[in-house]
Amino acid sequence: MNFAKVGRVAAASMITGALMASAVSAETLRLSHNTGDSTTWHKGAERFGELLADKTGGDLDVRVFPNAQLSGGDQMRQAEMVGRGALDLVVTSAINVTPLVPEMAVFSLPYLYANYDQVDATTQGAPGEMLSDILLEKGIVVLAWGENGFREVTNNVRPITSPEDMEGLNMRVAGPMYIDVMNELGANPQQMQWGETMTALQQGVVDGQENPIGAVIIPQQIYEVQEYLTTWHYSYDPIFLGISKDKWDSYDSDMQTALSEAAQEAMDYQRQITREDTASGLDFLREQGMEIYEPTAEELDAFRTATKPAFDEWADKVGADIVNTFQEAIANA
């Protein structure tokens, strides 16, 4: 063996050694969410993984599992699983966490918010932190808040222009508060997993559903199976990126900073693309053949009045302290 060849072999084995060392120190975290892989939830989660790998020099990376695969299709169970350390990471929306933490319903109280400035004054400020503190008690560290969005109603029966139009419609809803809201409107709500909703709409098991335009309705092609959409903005739903407290506590402060920064940047990006896709969404949905109805301020008032009993009932469950803090921040936004 000549000298040059020995050198090459030594260099090659050094490189292999370095690769092995980095392979050993790298940890892949599992992130669960319950929408498809075309949504802005998924894009935000993927962005988080890229940023995290970047910031930790490859020591931490993320594998994203869509469609609630890791919780047997149950979108409500994910938060509880993260809380007890059975999942590392989750991207989920507030309404999905209400069975575990009823206070999370504050965000989605009917007609709490009128615009994005009001939303940002709560999710990106001290009111949001009140909820993060409660989630921490359940073993979930909220790293950053993103956006599902203002939830709009779609159906296959008729255009919805007033509360009376909801009468008798079979509506798929995600969580318990929306059951109460739909009941106030005279609809027949049923709670159903998001993963089962497309088929249920297709087969006419339900007439309609409600979801945000940019984050879910467009990327999940709900326009393929629904004819009418009304921009009634009846409930806002944030998402958050959370990590199990056990995992979080296992890292040093540099690693925790990397996690926090990557999450904030990823959720900022996620919120931005969600708002862009929502802004251009109505034109897109019309092109796809949906009939869009945009209620006037007066018509929105009629929906607000009709859903007020559900607001009051759920404001009680959330607690006056939290509701007042949110309403103050909203009034000052």
Residues making contact with ligand X2X (CB under 6 A): 34-35, 75, 93, 95-96, 148, 174, 194, 211, 216, 237
> Which amino acid, 3?
F
Q: How far is the CB of 71 from ligand X2X (least distance, A)?
A: 12
Calpha distance 224→5 (Å, rounded): 63
Closer CB to ligand X2X, 56 or 270, in the complex: 270
Minimum distance, C-beta of residue 92 to ligand X2X, in the bound complex (Å): 7
Which is nearer to ligand X2X, 141 or 174 (by Cβ)?
A: 174
Minimal distance in Å, beta carbon 201 to ligand X2X? 12
For helices 126-137 and 320-331, give the axis angle rounded to 10 degrees: 150
* Least Cβ distance, residue 237 to ligand X2X (angstroms): 6
Residue located via tokens 């900022």: 268
Shortest approach of ligand X2X to residue 108 CB, angstroms?
9
Q: Which is nearer to ligand X2X, 156 or 327 (CB)?
A: 156
Return the number of the residue (40 or 148) whose C-beta is nearest ligand X2X.
148
Closest residue (Cβ) to ligand X2X?
A: 194
CB nearer to ligand X2X: pick between 71 and 122: 71
